[in-house]
Amino acid sequence: MMHVRRSPQEIAANRARYEEHQKKGLEFAPKALPGPSRLPAPAIDAAAIIHQEIVPGGWYWSTRLLRGEAIRIDQGEGNSTVALAAWNAEDTSERINLVDTAKVQWTTALGKGRVIFSDMGRVMFSMIEDSSGAHDCLMGGSTAASNAAKYPGEKTRNTRDNLILVAVKLGLDRRDIPGILNLFAPVRLSEGGSFGWLGKRSNSGDYVDLRAEMDMLVGFSTCPHPLDPDPTYQPKPVVITRYKAALPLADDLCRTATAEAARGFENNALMQA
Amino acid sequence: MSDFIQTSPARSLQNATQEHFIAAEAPWSGIVRKGQTIRIEDSYGQQAIDTLFYRADDFSERYSNQDTMRMQGAAYIGIDTKIMSNEGNVMLTMTADSCGRHDTSAGACSCESNTVRFGHGTKYLHACRDNFVLEVSKHGMGKRDIVPNINFFMNVPIKPNGEMTIVDGISAPGDYVELVAEMDVLCVISNCPQINNPCNGFDPTPVRVLIWDGED
Ligand SMILES: [Zn+2]
């Protein structure tokens, strides 16, 4: 096999450039993130509200969400996980991509000030508020099989089937269901790489506000997370409010917190020019 | 390039039914039948091998990184890992692994994500996603069929606080994984061209794929 090696100088230059990006990424440059949003959630201006949906526990819902609008996902009476999927409304082959979201921001721990990327290097959502800081972008949702093992003999609904219903009713199909983000799911890894349900359990009143940075179709499922410690299937309703938000200003937190987010917004601007 | 390392008397270089060399930066795809074993070999060491699997008779069933991680309760791919599909079925099982560290949380590199990660000056560099697009399009699939993949030999530690970074690969020349197929699968590989991070030691190299029939 032929293999022409790069020069040691070229390799050293590329390594140095990577290490510079890595240092900034891991040290929260240029901005430190603000920490969790305060509780209780401040009221949304009634005049800005477009729609409010109370999604029963274990169910699904989807909505169109335009650039400059936002959604608040509110735990209401608490202890529910909300699975989220999203597609670019103009071209549904562009969709939420959690592996890129984690990789480019150097963390799986999403919270206020972070952004959520599509597979095309563009920002789909800005996390403009988040009181929880405990979300899971790795494990995916429940399935018929995982629920059958966890709640034997009980009649349950699961996230996989919910998202099939969301996708198919939007004119998409099973192939179009992307990896999902679980909001309000405090999943973390041990040093050895195994998953645990750690730290704060999401609580009554926790909320996340996601601002849309492109026009999207957004799907939700409100089934218990596979690691939810409650042995009983009793998902609670979730309140999802779609409202008018301002477009991000030049000094917007989510747009400027990291060099990666800033470059993602530059890619959005090219699409939206 | 290193010598072949034998894991079973039943599998030698001489009795492999297929042997493929994948050039540095290039894609490859091929069918692995139920019961066959596929070896993916990092011939020169420190080379990420981005890999996807599709059910051979129904491509809508395909590899799912989230289902694979959830089913094993852990983030890294290793020996005995069951490679799960989006429909909850076992596609392959990893039966041998001389490296010990493989990723499925960080996805494939793309021209688009490179602009975000490393700046717009890195946009026009060949990337895994382009390899995947070219290769799956041969089988009638498109961009929407490209899902988060396995990165064999890529070292992406995730800390308990969530911190995630790509660090130097630990694979030595000749390191390998072997997987036995539990259904007929189409295997799609991108031999990663990335030179902006350490996943390929900043110097992508060729790899080898071998396939053997079942032992019985
Ligand atoms: Zn790559």
Q: B115 contacts in A (CB within 8 Å)?
A: 121, 263, 267
What does R_g of chain B's alpha carbons equal in angstroms? 16
Q: Which of A31-45, A141-155, B79-93 has the lowest mean pLDDT?
A: A31-45
Q: Which two tokens stand for residue B62?
A: 């395909």
Task: Give the pLDDT band of residue A100 (cuts 50, 70, 90).
Answer: very high
With a CB cutoff of 8 Å and minimum separation 6, the contacts of A221 are A59, A60, A82, A83, A141, A159, A162, A163, A166, A180
B/e letters for A77-104, b = 16+ CB within 10 Å, e = fewer, are eebbbbbbbbbbbeebbbbbbbbbbbbb
What angle in degrees, to the nearest 10, is found between the helix axes of A98-105 and A259-272? 130
Full DSSP string of B104-171: SSS----HHHHHHHH-GGGTTS--HHHHHHHHHHTTT--GGG----EEET-B--B-TT-BB--B---P
What does R_g of chain A's alpha carbons equal in angstroms? 19
pLDDT at residue A31, rounded to an integer: 85
Q: pLDDT digits over A4-43, tens only?
A: 688 999 999 999 999 999 998 888 878 889 999 999 999 9
Quote the mean pLDDT of chain A.
94
Task: Quote the DSSP letter at residue B37.
Answer: E
| pLDDT tops 80 at residue A225 | yes
The ipTM estimated for the assembled molecules is 0.96
Q: Are B210 and B39 in contact (CB under 8 A)?
A: yes
pLDDT at residue A36, rounded to an integer: 93
Task: Return the C-alpha torsion angle B117, B121, B123, B124, nearest 10.
Answer: -150
Q: Please give the Cα distance from B65 to B86 (Å, whole number).
A: 9
Chain A residue with Cα closest to B151: A99
Burial class (CB in 10 A: 0-12, 13-18, 19+), B188: buried
Instruction: Identify the top-confidence range among A186-190, B130-134, B164-168.
Output: B130-134
Strand B18-22 and strand B27-32: pairing?
unpaired
Of A104, A139, A190, the CB nearest to B160: A190
Q: Are B45 and B175 in contact (CB under 8 A)?
A: yes
pLDDT at residue A142, rounded to an integer: 97
Q: Please give the Cα distance from A138 to A155 (Å, whole number).
A: 26
pLDDT at residue A201, rounded to an integer: 58
Burial class (CB in 10 A: 0-12, 13-18, 19+), A108: buried
Phi, psi (rounded to 5 degrees) for A169: -70, -20
pLDDT at residue B69, rounded to an integer: 98
Q: B62 contacts in A (CB within 8 Å)?
A: 175
Neighbours of A266 (CB within 10 A): 16
pLDDT at residue A200, rounded to an integer: 61
Q: B205 contacts in A (CB within 8 Å)?
A: 3
CB contact under 8 A, A189 and B75: yes
In the block, which residue shows the tokens 């911190």?
B163
Decide if A9 touches B, using CB distance below 8 A.
Answer: no
Q: pLDDT digits over A109-119, tens only?
A: 999 999 999 99
pLDDT at residue A163, rounded to an integer: 98
Percent share of chain A, pLDDT over 90: 85
CB contact under 8 A, B113 and A117: yes
Q: Give the closest residue to B176 by CA, choosing from B85, B47, B34, B36.
A: B47
Q: pLDDT digits over B13-42, tens only?
A: 999 999 999 999 999 999 999 999 999 999
pLDDT at residue B154, rounded to an integer: 95
Percent share of chain A, pLDDT over 70: 96
pLDDT at residue A136, rounded to an integer: 96
Neighbours of A38 (CB within 10 A): 9
pLDDT at residue A27, rounded to an integer: 87
User: Which stretches within A170-258 are classed as H helix?
Assistant: 253-256
pLDDT at residue A199, rounded to an integer: 61
pLDDT at residue B2, rounded to an integer: 66
Q: Please give the Cα distance from B105 to B150 (Å, whole number).
A: 8
CB contact under 8 A, A174 and B202: no
